[in-house]
């Protein structure tokens, strides 16, 4: 077998193509223990995710966690599962479709594909499709606004690992982060303002980010700093006083110290101290998923109300909002600047603009039913 492979069918006459590869974390195929087991094994076997020596971690993972956690996690997934399947998958597919159409409406002949770091569609499978289409330029856009070794870096690791076996390498560019991108901050502010317009403004805005072990901060991971920067920029955009907002971190796993303050204990403390109403936003997630719909909108809500709080309002993620799709278009246009991207004809642009409007209507209708 050759070390450096080529597509099964390849023609030097095939026109070169440009693509954007969106990368999300991933999701199990079904809310069952059987589906969760391989998904969790792949996820928790990643040394970027669990930085424990393999000799120590492997017996714990295979002997304890994979025999107990899948069933518990399956119940949580079942509580947020939709007729379309996983909320994360449904939103990610819509985002992919809308970005593809939005770029076409602006005259860009750029393919847009979605891959999951864990689960399907896998990064290797999607890259193979791009290679077969003679894609010679790829912009990899991990859908993580704040950079972390356990998210952005592992997506880049996997893309690089796959390309090590290719004979004809594409030109690559990466979006490392977009935590302070004006379009991203505008999209977040729009979500909060929309919530306030519908339900009124609460006493405090809680910005809950996914947690990571504190040790990663001490070793140089910029994630904590980028979360704080996002929160500060959003608060400034909303005109909030410093005592009107707070940053917390959720999804702690294991006994090690993680970034603090922790979300649920903080919400309980707020309620007990007399705060009666809060809005909770998860800026680090661009799509609603298990961590936002179950952990925050269900579990955190119960904790706050159970401790004496009166109003808990969850602010949905960016999902398929026009402002977020515009943010992605801006990122792609800036990052692909200088590439000889083919442009579409005026007729194609008109046709795809009309298609984009129809797809937006369908996406909004589907999103309202999630």
Interval 142-151 mean pLDDT: 98
Mean pLDDT of the chain: 92
Q: What is the pLDDT of residues 312-327, one digit of tens each?
A: 999 999 999 999 999 9
Does residue 201 have a pLDDT over 60? yes
Interval 113-137 mean pLDDT: 97
pLDDT of residue 357: 62
Does residue 341 have a pLDDT over 90? no
pLDDT of residue 1: 44
Interval 134-156 mean pLDDT: 97
pLDDT of residue 5: 72
Does residue 138 have a pLDDT over 60? yes
pLDDT of residue 274: 97
Q: What is the pLDDT of residues 347-365, one digit of tens each?
A: 554 565 555 566 666 655 6
Interval 97-126 mean pLDDT: 97
The pTM assigned to this predicted structure is: 0.90
**Secondary structure string (H, E, C) spanning the chain:** CCCCECCCCCCCCCCCEEEEEEEEEECCCCCCHHHHHHHHHHHHCCCCCCCCCHHHHHHHHHHHHHHHHHHHHHHHHHHHCECCECHHHHHHHHHHHHHHHHHHHCCECCEEEEEEEECCCEHHHHHHHHHHCCEEEEEEEECCCCCCHHHHHHHHHHHHHHHCCECCCCEEEECCCCCCCHHHHHHHHHHHHHHHHHHCCCCEEEEEEECCEHHHHHCCCCHHHHHHHHHHHHHHHHCCCHHHEEEEEECCCCCCCECCCEHHHHHHHHHHCCCCEEEEECCCCCCCCHHHHCHHHHHHHHHHHHCCCCEEEEECCCCCCHHHHHHHHHHHHHHCCCCCCCECCHHHHHHHHHHHHHHHHHHHHHHHCC
pLDDT of residue 250: 98
pLDDT of residue 14: 73
């Amino acid at each position: 077998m050759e070390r450096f492979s080529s597509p099964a069918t390849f023609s030097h006459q095939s026109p070169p193509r440009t693509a954007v590869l969106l990368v999300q974390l991933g999701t199990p195929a079904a809310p069952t223990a059987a589906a969760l087991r391989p998904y969790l094994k792949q996820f928790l076997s990643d040394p970027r995710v669990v930085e424990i020596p393999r000799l120590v971690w492997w017996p714990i993972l295979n002997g304890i966690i994979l025999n107990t956690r899948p069933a518990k996690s399956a119940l949580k997934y079942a509580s947020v599962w939709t007729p379309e399947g996983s909320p994360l998958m449904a939103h990610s597919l819509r985002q992919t479709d809308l970005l593809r159409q939005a770029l076409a409406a602006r005259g860009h002949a750029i393919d847009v594909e979605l891959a999951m770091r864990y689960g399907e569609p896998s990064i290797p499978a999607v890259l193979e499709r791009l290679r077969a289409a003679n894609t010679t330029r790829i912009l990899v856009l991990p859908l993580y606004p704040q950079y972390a070794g356990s998210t952005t870096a592992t997506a880049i690791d996997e893309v690089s690992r796959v390309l090590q076996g290719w004979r004809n390498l594409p030109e690559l560019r990466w979006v490392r982060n977009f935590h302070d991108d004006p379009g991203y901050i505008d999209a977040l502010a729009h979500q909060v303002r929309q919530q306030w317009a519908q339900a009124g403004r609460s006493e405090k805005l809680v910005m809950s980010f996914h947690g990571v072990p504190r040790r990663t901060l001490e070793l140089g991971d910029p994630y904590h700093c980028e979360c704080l920067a996002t929160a500060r920029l959003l608060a400034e955009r909303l005109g909030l006083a410093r005592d009107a907002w707070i940053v917390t971190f959720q999804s702690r796993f294991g006994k090690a110290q993680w970034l603090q303050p922790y979300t649920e204990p903080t919400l309980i403390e707020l309620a007990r101290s007399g705060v009666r109403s809060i809005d909770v936003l998860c800026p680090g997630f661009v799509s609603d998923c298990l961590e936002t719909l179950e952990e925050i909108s269900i579990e955190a809500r119960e904790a706050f109300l159970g401790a004496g709080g009166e109003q808990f309002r969850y602010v949905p993620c960016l999902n398929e909002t026009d402002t977020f799709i515009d943010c992605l278009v801006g990122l792609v246009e800036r990052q692909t600047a200088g590439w000889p991207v083919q442009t579409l004809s005026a007729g194609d642009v008109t046709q795809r603009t009309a298609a984009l409007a129809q797809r937006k209507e369908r996406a909004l209708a589907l999103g309202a039913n999630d």
